[in-house]
Structure 1
Amino acid sequence: MQFDIAELKNKTLVKLYKNLIKPRLIEERMLVLLRQGRISKWFSGIGQEAIAVGVTMALKEDEYILPMHRNLGVFTTRNIPLYRLFGQWFGKASGFTKGRDRSFHFGTQQYKIVGMISHLGPQLGVADGIALANKLRGNNQVTAVFTGEGGTSEGDFHEALNVASVWKLPVLFCIENNGYGLSTPTSEQYRCENLADRGVGYGMESHIIDGNNILEVYTKVKRIAKSVRKDPRPVLIEFKTFRMRGHEEASGTKYVPQEILDAWSKKDPVKNYQRFLKSEGIIDDDFEAMLKAEIDAEILEHLQVAFEEDLIIFDEIKELNDVFQDIDYKQINSNSNLKELRFVDAISEGLKQSMERHDDLIIMGQDVADYGGVFKVTENFIEQFGKDRVRNTPICESAIIETGMGLSIAGMKAVVELQFADFVSSGFNPVVNYLAKSYYRWQQNADVVLRMPCGADVGAGPFHSQTNEAWFTKTPGLKVVYPAFPYDAKGLLNTAINDPNPVLFFEHKALYRSIRQDVPTDYYTLPFGMASVLKEGNSVSIVSYGAGVHWALNTLSKNPNISADVIDLRTLTPLDTETIYKSVKKTGRAIILQEDTMFGGIAGDISALITENCFEYLDAPVKRVASLDTPIPFAKQLEDGFLPKERFEKALKELLDY
Structure 2
Amino acid sequence: MPEHFTRDLAFDYKKYDFPNQQLLELFQALLKPRMIEEKMLILLRQGKISKWFSGIGQEAISVGVTMAMQEKEYILPMHRNLGVFTSRNIPLYRLFSQWQGKASGFTKGRDRSFHFGTQEYKIVGMISHLGPQLGVADGIALAHKIRNEKQVTAVFTGEGGTSEGDFHEALNIASVWDLPVIFCIENNGYGLSTPTTEQYRCEHLADRAAGYGMESHIIDGNNILEVYAKVSEIASSVRENPRPVLLEFKTFRRRGHEEASGTKYVPEDLMQAWEKKDPVTNFREYLVSENILTENQLQEITDEISSEIEAHLQLAFSEAPVEANLKNELQDVYETAEETKNFPSEDTQEIRFVDAIAQSIDESMQRHPDLVLMGQDIAEYGGVFKITEGMLERYGKDRVRNTPICESAIVSTAVGLAINGMKAMVEMQFGDFVSSGFNPIVNYLAKLKYRWDQSANVVIRMPCGAGVEAGPFHSQSNEAWFTKVPGLKVIYPAFPYDAKGLLNAAFNDPNPVLFFEHKALYRSIRQEVPKDYYTLELGKAAVIQEGEKVSVVTYGAGVHWALESLQEEKIEDIELIDLRCLQPLDVDMICESVSKTGKVLILTEDSLFGSLASEISAIITENCFENLDAPVLRVGSLETPVPFAAALEKQYLPKQRFKEKLQYLIEY
Bin the TM-score by the shorter chain.
over 0.9
Post-superposition CA distance 1:471-490 (Å, at most 9, x none): 00010000000000000000
Q: 2:462 aligns with which of 452, 455, 471?
A: 452
Q: In the alignment, does 2:549 pair up with 1:539? A: yes
- Helix, strand or coil at the partner of 2:183: strand
Shift in Å, 1:419: 0.2
Question: What residue is the counterpart of 2:7 in the other structure?
Answer: none
Question: What residue is the counterpart of 1:384 in the other structure?
Answer: 394
Question: What residue is the counterpart of 2:567 in the other structure?
Answer: 557
Question: What residue is the counterpart of 2:585 in the other structure?
Answer: 575
Q: 1:419 aligns with which of 424, 429, 432?
A: 429
Q: In the alignment, does 2:472 pair up with 1:473? A: no
Question: What residue is the counterpart of 2:65 in the other structure?
Answer: 55
Shift in Å, 1:617: 0.3
Question: What residue is the counterpart of 2:170 in the other structure?
Answer: 160
Q: In structure 2, how many angstroms separate the alpha carbons of the residues matched to 1:86 and 1:186? A: 33
For the 8 Å contact 1:421–1:452, the answer to whether it is kept is yes
Q: In the alignment, does 2:209 pair up with 1:195? A: no
Shift in Å, 1:563: 1.2
Shift in Å, 1:655: 1.1
Amino acid at match of 2:56: I
Q: 1:494 aligns with which of 483, 504, 507?
A: 504
For the 8 Å contact 1:92–1:98, the answer to whether it is kept is yes
Q: In structure 1, how many angstroms separate the alpha carbons of the residues matched to 2:173 and 2:331? A: 35
Shift in Å, 1:3: 1.0
- Helix, strand or coil at the partner of 1:144: strand
Q: In structure 1, how many angstroms separate the alpha carbons of the residues matched to 2:643 and 2:345? A: 45
- Helix, strand or coil at the partner of 2:230: helix
Shift in Å, 1:2: 1.2
Q: 1:436 aligns with which of 446, 470, 483?
A: 446
Post-superposition CA distance 1:269-296 (Å, at most 9, x none): 0000000001111001111111111111
- Helix, strand or coil at the partner of 1:116: coil
Superposed CA RMSD in Å reads: 0.6
Superposition pairs of residues 46-445 of structure 1, within 5 angstroms: 46-445=56-455
Amino acid at match of 1:612: E
Q: In structure 1, how many angstroms separate the alpha carbons of the residues matched to 2:81 and 2:73? A: 16
Q: In the alignment, does 2:611 pair up with 1:611? A: no
Q: In structure 1, how many angstroms separate the alpha carbons of the residues matched to 2:515 and 2:415? A: 16
Post-superposition CA distance 1:206-265 (Å, at most 9, x none): 000000000000000000000000000000000000000000000000000001000000
Q: 2:26 aligns with which of 16, 19, 24?
A: 16
- Helix, strand or coil at the partner of 1:646: helix
Amino acid at match of 1:549: V
Question: What residue is the counterpart of 1:484 in the other structure?
Answer: 494
Post-superposition CA distance 1:132-190 (Å, at most 9, x none): 00000111000000000000000000000000000000000000000000000000000
Q: In structure 2, how many angstroms separate the alpha carbons of the residues matched to 1:329 and 1:589? A: 35
Q: In structure 2, how many angstroms separate the alpha carbons of the residues matched to 1:494 and 1:134? A: 25
| Ranges in structure 2 where 5+ consecutive residues have no aligned partner | 1-10
Shift in Å, 1:336: 4.8
Q: In structure 2, how many angstroms separate the alpha carbons of the residues matched to 1:450 and 1:358? A: 17
Q: 2:648 aligns with which of 635, 638, 642?
A: 638
Q: In structure 2, how many angstroms separate the alpha carbons of the residues matched to 1:629 and 1:437? A: 31
Q: In structure 1, how many angstroms separate the alpha carbons of the residues matched to 2:153 and 2:339? A: 33
- Helix, strand or coil at the partner of 2:247: strand
Q: In structure 2, how many angstroms separate the alpha carbons of the residues matched to 1:458 and 1:153? A: 38
- Helix, strand or coil at the partner of 1:237: strand
Post-superposition CA distance 1:339-381 (Å, at most 9, x none): 1110000000010000000000000000000000000000010
Q: In structure 2, how many angstroms separate the alpha carbons of the residues matched to 1:577 and 1:262? A: 64
For the 8 Å contact 2:182–2:246, the answer to whether it is kept is yes
Q: In structure 1, how many angstroms separate the alpha carbons of the residues matched to 2:617 and 2:469? A: 30
Q: In the alignment, does 2:523 pair up with 1:513? A: yes
For the 8 Å contact 1:176–1:238, the answer to whether it is kept is yes
- Helix, strand or coil at the partner of 2:311: helix
Question: What residue is the counterpart of 2:3 in the other structure?
Answer: none
Shift in Å, 1:5: 5.2
Give % identity: 68
Amino acid at match of 1:539: K
Q: In structure 2, how many angstroms separate the alpha carbons of the residues matched to 1:26 and 1:657? A: 73
- Helix, strand or coil at the partner of 2:200: coil
Q: In structure 2, how many angstroms separate the alpha carbons of the residues matched to 1:436 and 1:449? A: 12
Q: In the alignment, does 2:597 pair up with 1:587? A: yes
For the 8 Å contact 1:329–1:527, the answer to whether it is kept is no
- Helix, strand or coil at the partner of 1:388: coil
| Ranges in structure 1 where 5+ consecutive residues have no aligned partner | none
Shift in Å, 1:409: 0.4
TM-score (norm 1): 1.00
Aligned length: 658
Shift in Å, 1:559: 3.0
Q: In structure 1, how many angstroms separate the alpha carbons of the residues matched to 2:628 and 2:325? A: 34
Shift in Å, 1:410: 0.3
Amino acid at match of 2:269: E
- Helix, strand or coil at the partner of 2:398: helix
- Helix, strand or coil at the partner of 2:429: coil
Shift in Å, 1:335: 2.2
For the 8 Å contact 1:4–1:215, the answer to whether it is kept is no
For the 8 Å contact 2:408–2:436, the answer to whether it is kept is yes
Q: In structure 1, how many angstroms separate the alpha carbons of the residues matched to 2:14 and 2:530? A: 68
- Helix, strand or coil at the partner of 1:496: helix
Amino acid at match of 1:412: M
Shift in Å, 1:329: 2.6
Q: In structure 2, how many angstroms separate the alpha carbons of the residues matched to 1:2 and 1:376? A: 60
Amino acid at match of 1:584: V
Post-superposition CA distance 1:19-68 (Å, at most 9, x none): 00000000000001111111111000000000000000000000000000
Query: Cα–Cα, structure 1 residues 587 and 144, in superposed 2: closer, same or farther, change >3 Å?
Result: same
For the 8 Å contact 2:466–2:476, the answer to whether it is kept is yes
Q: 1:32 aligns with which of 25, 42, 57?
A: 42
- Helix, strand or coil at the partner of 1:207: strand
Amino acid at match of 2:117: G
For the 8 Å contact 2:16–2:225, the answer to whether it is kept is no
Post-superposition CA distance 1:582-608 (Å, at most 9, x none): 111100001100001110000001000
Amino acid at match of 1:325: E
Amino acid at match of 1:388: D
Post-superposition CA distance 1:397-445 (Å, at most 9, x none): 0010000000000000000000000000000000000000011000011
Q: In structure 1, how many angstroms separate the alpha carbons of the residues matched to 2:484 and 2:532? A: 35
Shift in Å, 1:561: 3.7
Q: In structure 2, how many angstroms separate the alpha carbons of the residues matched to 1:526 and 1:324? A: 18
